[in-house]
Structure 1
Amino acid sequence: MTFTGNPGNEVEHALRQVAPQDYEAYERLLECLARGHVWMLLWQGEPGSPDAQYGNMEVHGSRYAPAFTSEGQLHESRWDRGWEVHAVREIAATLYPDQWGLWLNPHMQGGGVGVPYLDLRRIVGGLDKLMPGPVRVGEPALDDSAFWAVLTAELGASGVVRAAHRAYVEPALGAPRIVIGTRLADNDPATVDRMKQAMARAAGMLQGIDISSVALDDPYDPVAKWMREQTRSFL
């Protein structure tokens, strides 16, 4: 892959390292993007105008907005229409709710690198808070009736959990974990905190197994989607 970007640009440096199935290199790219900026292509309209529209492309059925990683890449591509510079966190927050990803340097030999909308969501929500994909999801293999009984009792006693589903998840990076999908009485921070405290009390029984939670009705989370479709509440 030929690449002639600015050697001082950390996004471009990370982009050089990305290779198929190298999830660690891709994660480093996401970390750099979370701190960086991109040059967004405008298909029509002037920068900052109400009618300005980003470019768009489709790859394997998924939608992406093309962008460059530096002004140098912009000029190298010979793009002859308008463009805007945005912090990646800012543009990611605009794109991911409509399930648009970001495609970096589509003019590069090899076609550039795509960042799917779920990874833009991770950039916005926190790379350390949302699991890296792709993920493998299945039924929990933990045969510990005492733990499940305590967890069920704690969640029930919290008074805020209306439903609780479970899954065993193997992320692309990091240790496998048990994920509990919860539907709460409301979205008040105090309600969420009560649920997390209940889970933490039960998790004290586990040894060497991570446990985390996800909002069961999260429209973007693939684990929540799997639980909604494949499991029933154990509460």
Structure 2
Amino acid sequence: MSASGTAAAGQVEHMLRQVTPGRYDAYEALLHALADPAGGRIWMLLWHGQPGSPDAQYGNMEIDGVCYAPCVTSPQELAVSGWNRAHEITTGRDIARALYPDRWGIWLNPHAPGGGVGVPWLDLRRIATGLDRMPAGPLRLSDPAIEIPQFYALLTQNAHRTPSVRSLRRAWVQPAVGPAYLAIGLDLYDTGPQSVKTVRVMMQQSVAAVPDGLPVSTVAMADEYDPVTMWMRVNARPFYDRDAHAGAPPTGGGYGYPPPHTR
């Protein structure tokens, strides 16, 4: 193993040792070490097959109903673990891209005192797509308490003029690391490039009514992996609904709510 590879593994292990309950800053630093394209190397434990073979299968763990693939952070940890089957050397970013779509995380050094550290699939998605593009979890999500009627009125008006918008929702998001912000959920009829462009213009025109210093972000309601979107589907009714605005009769429950019970 090269000196640079050893240094990369050492960085992941160093950050891993800093992680303790409640130390979200240390956990975030661990994610950055795993996402480092020049490092972030880990040793995935194969339960079956050999690296690169079609029948290769990672080991698996289930913790609180969530699936993880176990791995270690260096040749030394591999030796200490006592693992006597095959293993595959990969990077944190590559394994993140492979596992998160199936909602699998990784568990680092499960043999270590204290049981190691799990990285759930939501954080693997952040590693795969860019840590700075998505908020650091765990997230605290709630209905927005801040009163900004001018913004909502302007946004609703602009949404009504943007044919691709079906509905809008909102949530207040408090990341584990970083400032809280207002999230707007965009439910679109069409997610093609032209539609996305018109919605971007809609948001740019509307944020002029946002008070200075209030961060606003958007999420796509079609994104089945976004934790803010998942929360909105269950907990946030649309504050703009084109079908309801047009007086369309209800069809089923719609927008994440069950249909009304009839007898």
Q: Shorter-chain TM-score: which interval?
A: over 0.9
Aligned twin of 2:195: 191
TM-score calculated relative to the size of structure 2: 0.83
Q: Report the secondary structure of 1:224's partner residue.
A: helix
Question: Counterparts of 1:205 and 1:188 in 2: how far apart (Å)?
Answer: 27
Paired amino acid for 1:158:
T
- Name the counterpart of 1:171: 175
Q: Is the 8 A contact 1:183 1:215 kept in 2?
A: yes
The reply on whether 1:210 has 2:215 as its aligned counterpart is yes
Q: SS in structure 1 opposite 2:131? A: coil
Contact 1:42 1:83 in 2 (8 A): yes
- Say which one has the larger Rg: 2
- Alpha-carbon deviations, 1:15-54, whole Å to 9, x = none? 1111111111100100010011211100011221111110
For residue 228 of structure 2, what is the aligned residue in structure 1?
Answer: 223
Q: Which of 150, 153, 177 is matched with 2:154 structurally? A: 150
Deviation at 1:195, TM superposition (A): 1.5
Matched ranges for 1:1-235 at <5 A? 9-35=10-36, 36-206=40-210, 207-235=212-240
Greater CA drift, 139-148 or 34-43:
139-148
Q: Is the 8 A contact 1:132 1:172 kept in 2?
A: yes
Give, as a single letter, the amino acid of the residue that structure 2 aligns with 1:157: R
Report the alpha carbon displacement of residue 6 of structure 1 after superposing the two structures with TM.
6.8
Report the Cα distance in structure 2 between the residues aligned to 1:7 and 1:93, rounded to whole angstroms: 19
From the superposition, tell whether residues 150 and 127 of structure 1 become closer, same or farther in structure 2 (CA, over 3 Å). same
Q: Share of identical aligned residues, percent?
A: 49
The structure-2 alpha-carbon separation of the partners of 1:8 and 1:170, relative to structure 1 and needing over 3 Å to count, comes to: closer
- SS of 1:9's partner is helix
Q: Using structure 1 for the length normalisation, give the TM-score.
A: 0.92
Shift of 1:8: 6.7
Decide whether the 8 Å contact of 2:46 with 2:57 is kept in 1: yes
CA RMSD in angstroms comes to: 1.7
Q: Give the superposition deviation at 1:187.
A: 2.3
Count how many residue pairs are aligned between Structure 1 and Structure 2.
Answer: 231
The unaligned stretches of length 5 or more in structure 2 are 1-5, 241-263
Structure 1's consecutive aligned runs of 4 or more residues displaced over 6 angstroms after TM superposition are 5-8
CA distance in 1, matches of 2:75, 2:198: 48
SS in 1 for 2:101: helix
Give how far 1:156 is off. 2.6
Structure 1 unaligned runs (5+)? none
